[in-house]
Chains A and B, each alone.
Chain A
Amino acid sequence: MSNEPTGLLERHIEKMGIAYPIAKVKGETADRTYGVKGFPSGALLDAKGRVVWTGHPGSVSHEQIAALLEDTAFVSSIPGSEHKKINKLITAQDFGKAQKAILKGLGKSPDDEALIQARDDIQGLLQRKLKSAEALAVAGDFGGSIEIYGELQTLFKGSDSAKQAKAEQKTLEKNPAAKADLGAWKMMQKGNAAQRAGDFEKAAKVYRKVIKKYGDTPCAGRAQEFLSRHSRL
């Protein structure tokens, strides 16, 4: 991220052989929002877009990144050039279609180890996500659980896994014990959107309402954490 002129950035990108996304920002707004006091400065975001670390970008720990990657929907592409169509689906995180294509491929060549690996990776991702959704619900974090079921419905769109996730979500929504936290979770979405838009005051306003209405829920706990971090608001 830099606020320098486009021409300068383009020359720099070419000279350094940069291959990762670069954002040309206007003025100092992003620097101020992220509390940047010198360059370079970094912030690490998890799959939800939550800031989990800030500091010198060269000092971020590989272990921390590896731990965060565990929680993403990352599946490795199939090596070689034979499975372009499946790789495209994997990269697009369209795992419902990818699964179907892999099974079709395995129907023709059941011993294709690369396909078996890809099938198992996707299955592993599904199982991992279902397990965390279940664990969260058991811990009373129903909002967190429903978020994962929603994510699975997107990742496995059009497949039985998506149907299963939807069914699990419906069961959760009918669970009387989940009512308060899900109410809080729904309310919190507005605050989350405000945070993502950089409007922390509006977020604080929403979170205060969440706490007032749904005091004793995990969601309210998260709302309180935000207010403690931003005590000025």
Chain B
Amino acid sequence: MKLISLSLALAATLQPAPVAEIVQVGDLAPEIEGEWFLSEANTLGALRGRVVLLDFWRTW
């Protein structure tokens, strides 16, 4: 039994990691999980009904 579960575990690690699907124009925007500043809303869902410009940035 141990051997089977070990080989299953090995098979699982040998499987290539699934490629995450990328959002395309036309899709419903997936939620952005995180800690929100300067906002009463803390999810994209709470901003529904508004036009939103997402800006991915870094301070550097």
Contact = CB atoms under 8 A, between A and B. Distances in A.
Contacts of B23: 33-35, 43, 51, 54
A196 B34 contact: no
Contacts of B41: 21
Q: Taking chain B's interface residues, is the majority helix, strand, or loop, or is none over half, making it mixed?
A: loop
Interface size class of A (residues with CB under 8 A): 35 or more
A42 B54 contact: yes
A49 B51 contact: no
Given A31-B56, A40-B57, A226-B26, A23 B51 contact: no
Size range of the chain B interface in the assembly: 35 or more
Interface in A1-54: 1-2, 4, 6, 8-10, 12-13, 18-26, 29-36, 39-54
Interface of B: 19-39, 41, 44-45, 47-59
Interface of A: 1-2, 4, 6, 8-10, 12-13, 18-26, 29-36, 39-54, 57, 60, 65, 68-69, 72-74, 93, 151, 192, 195-198, 200-201, 225-226, 229-230, 232-233
What 4 pairs across the A-B complex have the smallest Cβ distances? A21-B39, A198-B30, A35-B22, A25-B34
26 contacts: A1-B56, A19-B38, A20-B39, A23-B34, A23-B37, A25-B33, A35-B22, A36-B56, A42-B56, A46-B51, A48-B48, A49-B29, A49-B45, A49-B47, A51-B24, A51-B28, A54-B23, A72-B49, A196-B28, A196-B30, A196-B31, A201-B21, A225-B26, A229-B27, A232-B19, A233-B21
